[in-house]
Structure 1
Amino acid sequence: MRRVRYQVACSLDGYIAGPNDEFDWITPETSFDFGALYAQFDTLLMGRRTYEIVRATGENFRTKQVIVASRSLRPEDYPDVEIVSEGLKARVRELRAQPGRDIWLYGGGNLFSQLLTWNLVDTVELAVIPILLGGGVQLLPPCGARQYLTLTGHRAYPGGMLLLEYEVRQTAKGINKIAREKE
Structure 2
Amino acid sequence: MSESAPTKASRKVAADVVVSMDGYSSTGPDDDMSWAMEHILSEQTEIYYEGIWRGASTAIVGRTNWEGFTSVWPSMTADPNSSDRTRDLGNWLATVEKVVFSRTLEQADLGKTEWRNARIGTDLETEVRALKQTAGRDILVLNSASIIQALLKADLIDDLYLTIVPVTLGGGLRLLPDNYTSTWRIAAATTFPATSAVALHYQRP
**Which of 174, 185, 189 pairs up with 1:154?**
189
* Structure-2 separation of matches of 1:91 and 1:126: 24
1:31-180 matches, within 5 Å, as 31-32=44-45, 33=47, 34-59=49-74, 61-79=93-111, 80=116, 81-85=118-122, 87-142=123-178, 144-159=179-194, 160-169=196-205
Could you tell me the percent identity over the aligned residues? 26
Contact 1:110 1:140 (C-alpha < 8 Å) held by counterparts: no
CA distance 1:30–1:151, shift in 2 (3 Å): same
Displacement of 1:145: 2.8
Displacement of 1:168: 2.6
Larger deviation, residues 27-36 vs 110-119: 27-36
Contact 1:11 1:130 (C-alpha < 8 Å) held by counterparts: yes
**Structure 2: 5+ residue stretches without partners:** 1-9, 75-89
Report Cα offsets for 1:116-163 as digits up to 9, x if no partner.
111111111111112112222211242x43122111211212121111
Is 1:23 aligned with 2:57? no
Paired residue type of 1:118: A
Contact 2:15 2:143 (C-alpha < 8 Å) held by counterparts: yes
* Structure-2 separation of matches of 1:41 and 1:22: 26
Q: Secondary structure, in 3 states, of the residue corresponding to 1:25?
A: helix
Paired residue type of 1:122: D
Displacement of 1:5: 0.7
TM-score (norm 2): 0.74
| Alignment root-mean-square deviation, CA | 1.9
Paired residue type of 1:124: L
Q: Secondary structure, in 3 states, of the residue corresponding to 1:98?
A: coil
Displacement of 1:63: 2.1
Paired residue type of 2:108: E
* Structure-1 separation of matches of 2:153 and 2:198: 26
**Structure 1: 5+ residue stretches without partners:** 170-183
TM-score (norm 1): 0.82
Contact 1:29 1:161 (C-alpha < 8 Å) held by counterparts: no
Please identify which structure carries the higher helix content.
2
Displacement of 1:35: 2.9
Question: In terms of Rg, which structure is larger?
Answer: 2
Paired residue type of 1:55: T
Contact 1:109 1:141 (C-alpha < 8 Å) held by counterparts: no
Displacement of 1:53: 2.3
Paired residue type of 2:12: R
CA distance 1:31–1:107, shift in 2 (3 Å): closer
Q: Secondary structure, in 3 states, of the residue corresponding to 1:134?
A: coil
* Structure-2 separation of matches of 1:149 and 1:45: 22
* Structure-1 separation of matches of 2:68 and 2:172: 15
Report Cα offsets for 1:26-46 as digits up to 9, x if no partner.
223332303333212121111
